[in-house]
Amino acid sequence: YTLSTPWDVSTLSSSPVSSLYVGAYLSQLYDVSFNNSGDKMFILGGSDILEYNLSTEWDISTASYYQADTSTGGRFCFFKTDGSKLYIGSSSAATIYQYSLGTNWDISTLSYDSVSFSVNGEEGTPRGMFFRNDGSEFFIVGSGNNTIYKYDLSTNWDLSTASYSTI
């Protein structure tokens, strides 16, 4: 979709500008992320995360399938701003898992950090997350309580230092 005024959803075009069918690789789609320059796209579905290259930045009609990682599983994801970390959330476990990428934005170099954080005390069915640009906070939304929850990280981007914020 196109926004005639940047960041203003009230100016959303009535029909999509383009679309991308990924049914050959995934039977369920949960989340999509892009790198900062818009030349890579990542799609999370089922137990897979797919990586696509875009020959024209931010234009999904120019996407070409590149590779997949089939070990992640999860319902939603978020990349650290430099692409060196990936956070994948599980709705069924109400837990966020932290991964490192040996090469930024390259899922073939993905490895689990053996770090996770449960949000079950606040939201039993999380559906999405967003990190502050500096990695000092993250937010969880879910379908259980219709609430946005905030978490603080005493060490930026390190889930092992996360705690629920009551403010």
Residue with the bigger pLDDT between 77 and 13: it is 77
pLDDT(128) > 80 = yes
pTM: 0.89
pLDDT(50) > 80 = yes
Per-residue confidence (pLDDT) for residue 17, from 0 to 100? 72
- The mean pLDDT of 65-71, rounded to a whole number, is 82
CA 122 to chain centre: 20
* Residue 59: half-sphere exposure toward Cβ, Cα within 13 Å: 5
Q: How far apart are CA 37 and CA 57, in angstroms?
A: 7
Residue 54 in contact with residue 38, Cβ under 8 Å? yes
Q: How far apart are CA 45 and CA 48, in angstroms?
A: 5
Per-residue confidence (pLDDT) for residue 98, from 0 to 100? 96
- The mean pLDDT of 24-28, rounded to a whole number, is 82
Per-residue confidence (pLDDT) for residue 87, from 0 to 100? 96
Q: How far apart are CA 49 and CA 79, in angstroms?
A: 12
pLDDT(19) > 90 = no
Per-residue confidence (pLDDT) for residue 28, from 0 to 100? 84
Per-residue confidence (pLDDT) for residue 92, from 0 to 100? 84
Per-residue confidence (pLDDT) for residue 18, from 0 to 100? 80
